[in-house]
Chain A
């Protein structure tokens, strides 16, 4: 095995993944701004970028296959490639969720705007973005504590979703005109919650890379909780 050539292939893989991750983080930031500022141009830019994210998934997948075919990696290298293939699938879904949110911006920011984006939505978006960032960072650095922290923050997003649902249900009850936009806003919140779930998956892959075990969400959580206690 030529370790120098292989190291450079593995380094290339990590860089590609970081780049894909950066595009996803940027998508989350921009789609959140687009919602708050009713910025249709920004939303269109997010939608346009989805093709790039999809292509990156294909090309990183190819990088992984090339590494498997050329170097038959074992141990840590093998887990890094396996985890990469799982992670890029989650990143691609994050890109899709951003696109889905962006497509609702127009309807949500029309002249007859009934729904103002609530603070909890920003909390969800910001938390989800930081989760994606830390999950990928833990994959690169092997910091399992950081990965476990990602899982813990998923609770913040879930709790915020509950509040958003309650708030929007109340609006729908009180003003029938707002129902159509409220339903879209519900979807937006749900998409942010899905993004946080994908970030949690990425965190789990990072733990797998370091420990060789792909933890169930519950296990990760109980370890993190016992660590806190």
Chain B
């Protein structure tokens, strides 16, 4: 039995009067990739953002139910948000390198968390870039601007930036939708490596991608999870007619 790293139970979320998540429950296992699929506006990205409390910043956002990291309620009073975001990192759809050097992009997080020694930072930067399969391509231009990298390299840089603060969970919101097939494949290969160390939760519109990389898949529709289970089961023999209709393109 896999160990549960994060879990949501009876999670409800409103943006003003709009109920974006309606009693959603999902376990996300350690060292595994959980894919969230569903049509636009189904709540999957909202759910993802809730896992490191990014929705706290949205005005009029109200949350009920609980989300736990290692069994601890992340919405409890006094919970350390900075620590939560270190433990639960996020990679966005559009690569968003900071307008600074490759090195400083990676060192940014560790510096915020108080690491000052150059030798230590050097080691962290190299380890993170190697982990994100980017080191070989950039090791001789670490002081150059990250903005000069290709889209695929920028996205791997963002993954390296997340890894530099040694998170436990990595959230990815359509991380390859802006990338070409080769860069996409690099990121997917990377995920297979990353899950050995981390817990990965990914939102994707690409069904083949979910089938390729995810251990478990959850299908969201209109703010609810219609079906969640083993990825192979979901794509070969979904239990719910709505899942079947969605993954076979019969939807709507």
| Chain A interfacial positions (CB closer than 8 Å to B) | 1-3, 6, 72-79, 212
Contacts and interface: CB of A to CB of B under 8 A. Distances in A.
A170 to B, nearest CB: 51
B179 interface: no
Q: Interface centre among A2, A74, A79, A212, by most B CB within 10 Å?
A: A74
B2 interface: no
Nearest to A77: B248
Tell which of B211, B247, B248 has the most Cβ of chain A within 10 Å: B248
B76 interface: no
Contact of B237 (A6, A77, A212): A212
Given A212-B236, A212-B237, A75 B244 contact: yes
Interface in B201-252: 207-208, 211, 235-238, 243-244, 247-250
B249 A75 contact: no
Nearest to B249: A1
14 contacts: A2-B249, A3-B249, A74-B207, A74-B211, A74-B235, A74-B247, A75-B236, A75-B243, A75-B247, A75-B248, A77-B248, A78-B235, A79-B236, A212-B236
Contacts of B250: 3
Contacts of B207: 72, 74
B208 A76 contact: no
A223 B235 CA distance: 26
B252 to A, nearest CB: 10
A76 B246 CA distance: 12
Contacts of B235: 74-75, 78
A79 B211 CA distance: 15
A3 B245 CA distance: 11
A74 B249 CA distance: 9
B228 to A, nearest CB: 16
Contact of A78 (B236, B243, B249): B236
Contacts of B249: 1-3, 6
B238 A75 contact: yes
A13 to B, nearest CB: 15
Contacts of A77: 248
Nearest to B250: A3
B142 to A, nearest CB: 39
Contacts of A74: 207, 211, 235-236, 247-248
Nearest to A72: B208
A212 B244 CA distance: 13
Nearest to A211: B237
Nearest to B210: A74
Contacts of A72: 207-208
